[in-house]
Amino acid sequence: PELVSDFVLALFSEDIEERWPVSIRNILTATLLRYYDEFIYVIEQHPNGLYDDNSRHALVHTVNRALRLAKAPRVTFNLWCKEVRDGFGVNNFMALPIDLLPPDAVRDTKIDPRSLFDRYNSLCSSYNGLFAQKMNLEDDVSQLRLDVAHLSCSLQRMEKVIVADQNELLTRVVNVLEIKFDKQDNKVRTLPVEDRMFFSDSMKRWRKDFSLKEIFVRYFTDHCFEGYEFEKNSSEFKTKLPSEKNSIKGQYKRLKKTIKVMLYFCDSFPKPIPQDPSSLVTWQRQLSSLAEWAMKALMEEIPNCPNRITPAYLLKSEIVKDWDNPDSPLAKGPPKDTPSAILAHFGFVNLTRHCTDAAILSRHARDY
């Protein structure tokens, strides 16, 4: 060890400022010892024969000088070189190719196969884990495909529902606009078959002591107009006895008279029943308020009005007859937004024209 230390100090004798730490010096010296023989072989192969005497080379001269200062013989230096090369091969035995190892190191080398078996088992376990992950991924991909197909079907169904809702909404908007501008068709909106009920069946649920307000509300809630037309044109109605037919017709005639009188005092015609369930309560309140307002206005118009007005009273009242008479100065008309089909059904068409003519004549008389 002392010879090696002296040799290292001799090699770096010019490092007066000690810029090279001891550890770096040792690494550089070990590198020199490891590749020294190869370096000598390379310079001896110079094509011009410049270094036939290799001692003339600067590096070789520096090494010889350091050996002389450290008083280390050449044999010891050669042993150092061999020891460094063998030590490098031993420390890096697993990483170096066999052809780079010394023959002596390979000849007596034996390998323990247990480490190889452990490595093989580890690789097999990793492969099995990867294969399981692959199968799981394939299952996930298959499930995703099913989910995508299900979502596509759901999306198509939703698009159909949205289109149907949009068409229904547009139809309702058109109906509202037609009512507002008095341009509704002569036909009333046809209800679906499942929403229809015979008028006679609806009347079975009514109480006999209904007030005019309750009758007005139930008339539009139960679709009595549509139910009567539906029943009148049905095959069952045609097979009924004449007395039964006359009973149903008379019952609807009295109800129709009551609703007609109530419409005289309505500011607007009742809106259709909304299709959205969340709007039914609001629609019911509006219809009830409209009926209550018409009821109050009706009672104020009737002289010596009784406490309770019944449909039978309206049929016999003289003032009601004047309201229905288009030639009477007391003639009244329906709300301006009443659909054309309702005007024709209640006989308001001629009445409206006569009322308009009477109003014009009255205005001319005042001007005159």
Provide the mean pLDDT of the chain: 78
pLDDT score of 130 more than 90? yes
Give the model's pLDDT for residue 367: 37
d(CA 127, CA 288): 77
Among 81-90, 210-219, 346-355, top mean pLDDT goes to 210-219
Q: In the prediction, which pLDDT does 357 show?
A: 42
- Spacing of C-alpha 46 from chain mean position: 80
Q: Comparing 298 with 168, which gets the higher pLDDT?
A: 298
Asked if residue 342 lies in contact with residue 185, where contact means CB atoms within 8 angstroms, the answer is no
pLDDT in tens, 170-225: 776 666 665 555 554 444 444 444 456 788 888 887 877 788 888 888 888 888 88
Among residues of the chain, what percentage have pLDDT more than 70? 80
The pLDDT assigned to 306 comes to 82
CA–CA gap between residue 294 and residue 96 (Å, rounded): 108
Element (H, E) at 225: helix 224-232
Residues 46-63 have pLDDT tens digits of 887 777 777 778 888 888
Q: What is the mean pLDDT of residues 119-147?
A: 90
The whole-number pLDDT of residue 210 equals 81
Across the range 296-304, mean pLDDT stands at 84
CA 48/CA 183 separation, integer angstroms: 117
Least confidently predicted of 37-51, 82-96, 112-126, 196-210: 82-96
Name which of 124-138, 174-188, 194-208, 303-317 the model is least confident about. 174-188
pLDDT of 144 over the 70 cut: yes
Confidence of residue 67 (pLDDT cuts 50, 70, 90): confident
CA distance 268 to 336: 7
Structure confidence at residue 106 (pLDDT): 59
- Note every long-range contact of 3-6, with CB atoms under 8 Å and residues 24 or more positions apart, other chains counting: 3/70, 3/71, 3/72, 3/76, 4/29, 4/80, 6/69, 6/70, 6/71, 6/72
Kindly tell me if the per-residue pLDDT of 333 is higher than 80.
yes
Check pLDDT > 60 for residue 348: yes
- What is residue 101's predicted lDDT score, i.e. its pLDDT? 65
| Residue type present at position 94 | M
Structure confidence at residue 363 (pLDDT):
38
Predicted TM-score (pTM) of this structure? 0.42
CA distances from 171 to 166, 174, 190, 279, 284 (A): 8, 5, 12, 17, 21
* Percentage of residues in the chain having pLDDT higher than 90: 5
> What would the pLDDT profile of 150-177 be if each residue is shown by its tens digit?
898 888 888 877 877 777 777 766 666 6
What is the widest separation between alpha-carbon atoms in the chain? Answer: 154
Highest mean pLDDT among 36-50, 89-103, 117-131, 294-308: 117-131
Helix (H) or strand (E) run with residue 120 in it: helix 114-180
Residue 341 above 50 pLDDT?
yes
> Looking at residue 126, what is its pLDDT?
92
Task: Give the residue from 191, 198, 205, 324 showing the smallest Cα distance to 257.
Answer: 324
